[in-house]
Chain A
Amino acid sequence: MSEEILRISDLSARFFTNEGQVNAVSNLDLTVERGEVFGIVGESGSGKSVTALSIMDLIDSPGEITDGRIEYRNADLAEAVADTHPEAVDGEFVDLLSIPEDARKSLRGSSFSMIFQDPMSSFNPSLTVGEQIAEAVEVQRRATANPRSTKARTKSVEYSLSSLVLSTVLPSRRFVTEAGRKRAVELLDMVGIPDPAQRTDEYPHEYSGGMLQRAMIAQALAGEPDVLIADEPTTALDVTIQAQVLDILRDLQEETGMTIVLITHNLGVIARMCDRVGVMYAGEVVERGTLGDIFQRQVHPYTAGLLGSIPDIESVGGRLEPIEGNVPSLLDHEMGDRCYFADRCPKAMEECLDKPPDISAEGSEDHVAKCVLADHPYDPARALPDDHFEELTVGQGTAGEVADDD
């Protein structure tokens, strides 16, 4: 381990909506190491999905990556673009945001692959599961052979009626080779689908929710990606199915050594799966470090608040220690330039009105918090008065809704 594979620095993504500019992700820094499971945890609207989509280059209008670098370690790619885009290359790292669109696109599937919360969105209902996985395999094969033909009909994230009609009229069987089909069966077997040889010929609606989730993982693995980005892969599932899917992800990771970026709002899932964790709040990573840093040595009051909010299944009763207040608005004009958590923070002090930088904290080398407490302890003498934010928070009740569109 400990070879960095992904280095994100100063990443900002904005959405330009009717209500104004939404700062979905702001100045985000993080690194992911090869072969690890990196967890991103945070509440609804904290920017987890936008971060994932940025890595995948899937941010569409009205959104835009406005700043930052996403550097990916890939010696071959570095060599290939060194001549044309020297500014993108830094040793073996290539900044994905400074290379041409089609070079970036060709990384999808073979370098980065993504799975979503809703498996239905990655399958075309009118083709069999096997055909779609075989097609993904074939696309990858052709892409490696000839980087130009990277179009696959089943690869798009959403389906319109027209694409449905089109794919019904023009079945893609000819796109599916015998080798592709074989590989599809293997992949389905890898993700624990019983009797894959037969299941491969079934349609998505014949699969149960848990099986479809696994089939989606199989599809994402078709190109043998370096990095698998899993956005809330088990959120819609029951605990028993969640346990199956997590098990499979973990086995796959151990077998193939791929890197996984796992996005979730469930700290239990983080604890079960991850090596290192980033905690997101209001578009920023407010604390990151190893599991131990986050669960035992957390510095940021938000991290502590999250941990205090979850009821413990191992013991009964008692009051929970929730974080007061609501998830903040990410509208640019309502954000100000302070610690974004200050209005809910029980330890807010005067200095928190200036935005705190990343400060190293006790624990592992990687342990960093965007909080003044990493620097000096809480001093009640400098505490902000209770009503400091009262004026600001009136009328911000709507913060939650903006986030609920996915």
Chain B
Amino acid sequence: MTETADGVEDREPIPEGMPTGSDRTADAGDDPLVSVRELTKYFYEHDSLYDRLLDRGPVSIQAVDGISFDIYEGETLGLVGESGCGKSTAGETLLNLQEATDGSVAFDGESIDGIDGSVPSSTADPPVGVKLSSVLLAVLGVVAVAGGGSVVTAAAEYPTWIVVLGGAWLLHGLASVGTAYGLWTVEAWGWRLATGVAVLAVALSLPTLSVAGGPAGVGVVAGLGLFVYLLVRRRVFITPSEFRRRTAIVFQDPFSSLDPRMTIGDVVRQPLDVHDVGTKEERRERVRYLIERVGLSADQLDRYPSEFSGGQRQRIAIARALALDPDFVVLDEPTSALDVSVQAQVLNLLDELQDEFGLTYLLISHDLSVIRHICDRVAVMYLGEIVELGDAEDLFESPRHPYTEVLLDNVPRAAMGERERDIETLNVDVPSPRDPPSGCRFRTRCPEVIPPEDVGLEQDQYRAVTDLRQRIEDREVSLRTARQQAEDRIVAQELADRLLEVDLPPNHRSYVDEALEVLAEGEYQDAADHLRERYESVCERYHPHLGDEDHPAACHLHGPLPEEAEEARPVVE
């Protein structure tokens, strides 16, 4: 597993045409393979120097906002939600393909450095130039230490070569630790050189040191060696390179995710080359095996991606993802660009491969039927947050969050009787992630939003009043239009006719009219405040948290309200 770390001859042998990885699933225990905690990713707009000169503050887009979940070995976790809810960003940030703003990810029990954005991580392997210069640097380092060492030896009467070897040993240690922490990438060649020198150093310095420094000297060297060895070998830290090796991703668009200038054989072999796995012959064998395993013919290895259909390209992308025999694969809408008949082929293939290679999947999709078909557990995302998380069966049979209910309800079923099925449609579109609603992010659309106690309005009436306030708060009501339209009527009256789509009981109607009169004067804030005073919902004031029970839902309808919320509940006479 750790070829880059201490690489002498520790490269993983490539099985001849046989699936590998099943050895890892032997103990499909209770420990999660992937543990995500409070993962957060913001993008910033208006963040250039120009914007700063104009004194424009950066606008954050809260693509992923503190999501936490575990993925257990061998399972498929589904991540479902509407477009723009942050599903793909979550997947990419989790794999460290995008730098996280905050939060942490642990893989196989070990934390992934670089995820939290504090340590720069390398997402691509270094080009040849970097490889050469790393070798050169290693040589220069040895020479430099040797030069400095000769001065020391002259003073302290040690043989020069002890200092030289000691220096090399030191370099190797630094390099290992540095890479383990993701401080720099040392390419395999550099590693081999450094390791070779280090092994030599240990071998030679032990007897010499036992003469010069006695047992204490031997102890120090051996202890240091053991420490570095453990650090790297036992993977106290997963190197970014190894993490990348044990994870893979398949993207939605099979038309743009493959390099059109590479033959499909090269496409699939590239990860093997980059990670320097196996001999040439072994690599070729592996590529043939994979291509055939995903249902293409090995005769087609020399063809270019453009010669294949969408479904075939997606198979190629899957073969490539499996090249390094990963443990964990993120599937980002793997079948969304495909026709239904081909989608079914690919879904079946993914299913087979999972069993055969002992894979763990994170399946990202907007298609609830696909999610239900494939996933063991499901996380529902809305505007950057996970709002419900549970066993697939549970979640589909008894959804708890109002958003999940609406999503499931709105999927048209391909069955007779679908025309007669009543469904609840939402009238409002998804708000912008630049300025997500306070409290519960779903509250602007939620059909079950909780009105203040004793307000005495039907849900649709309450919704109408809330929508009206929302529009006033967003300054979306144009008074100019209203004045034009009103002609000789009262502007507030015109506003009420236009903006209120339901009838309200008289006491509420007059309360709302008061607000509209204020609005007609151009006092947006006061009008909104007036309405808020009476109609503010707990859903707006308090952010619901995802609990840690078996099937949590982030909604105030479930679980107790925060204590202050109980006290602060507005009482309406």
Contacts and interface: CB of A to CB of B under 8 A. Distances in A.
Interface of A: 43-44, 192, 194-195, 197-198, 201, 208-211, 238-244, 246-247, 265-273, 291-292, 295-296, 305-324, 326-327, 397-401, 404
Given A295-B416, A311-B373, A397-B307, A268 B411 contact: yes
Contact of A316 (B396, B412, B430): B396
A273 B419 contact: yes
Interface of B: 82-83, 255, 300, 303, 306-312, 339-345, 347-348, 351, 366, 368-370, 372-374, 392-393, 396, 406-408, 410-416, 418-419, 421, 423, 425-427, 429-430, 467, 471, 476-478, 481, 485, 498-499, 501
Contact of A271 (B82, B342, B393, B414): B414
Nearest to B499: A195
A398 B414 contact: no
B343 A309 contact: yes
Contacts of B407: 239-240
B368 A239 contact: yes
B255 A307 contact: no
B414 A267 contact: yes
B373 A306 contact: no
Contacts of B410: 239-240, 242-243
Given A240-B406, A265-B340, A310 B369 contact: yes
Contacts of B311: 326, 400
Contacts of B310: 400-401, 404
A192 B340 contact: no
A189 to B, nearest CB: 10
B481 A239 contact: no
Contacts of A316: 372-373, 392-393, 396
Given A211-B429, A320-B344, A307 B414 contact: yes
8 contacts: A198-B478, A268-B413, A307-B414, A309-B344, A311-B372, A316-B372, A322-B342, A398-B306
Of the listed residues B309, B347, B370, the one surrounded by the most CB atoms of chain A closer than 10 A to its CB is B309
Given A240-B410, A244-B425, A268 B418 contact: yes
Contacts of B255: 401, 404
Contacts of B374: 311
A269 B412 contact: yes
B312 A201 contact: no
A335 to B, nearest CB: 17
Contact of B477 (A198, A201, A401): A198
A326 B345 CA distance: 10
Contacts of A313: 368-369, 372, 396, 408, 411, 413
Given A197-B481, A241-B429, A272-B419, A327 B369 contact: no
By secondary structure, the B interface counts as helix
Nearest to B345: A322
Given A239-B368, A327-B339, A314 B345 contact: no
B416 to A, nearest CB: 5
Contacts of A317: 373
A241 B427 CA distance: 9
B426 A240 contact: yes
A269 B370 CA distance: 16
Nearest to A322: B344
Given A246-B412, A307-B414, A320 B373 contact: yes
Contacts of A295: 414-416
Of the listed residues A272, A296, A312, A321, the one surrounded by the most CB atoms of chain B closer than 10 A to its CB is A272
B552 to A, nearest CB: 20
A267 B481 CA distance: 43
Contact of B312 (A211, A306, A319, A397): A397
A398 B307 contact: yes
A401 B311 CA distance: 11
Contacts of A318: 373
Contact of A247 (B82, B366, B425): B425
Given A197-B481, A243-B423, A312 B369 contact: yes
B406 to A, nearest CB: 6
Closest 4 CB pairs between A and B?
A400-B309, A268-B412, A322-B344, A311-B373
Contact of A324 (B343, B345, B423): B345
Contacts of A401: 255, 306, 309-310
B523 to A, nearest CB: 19
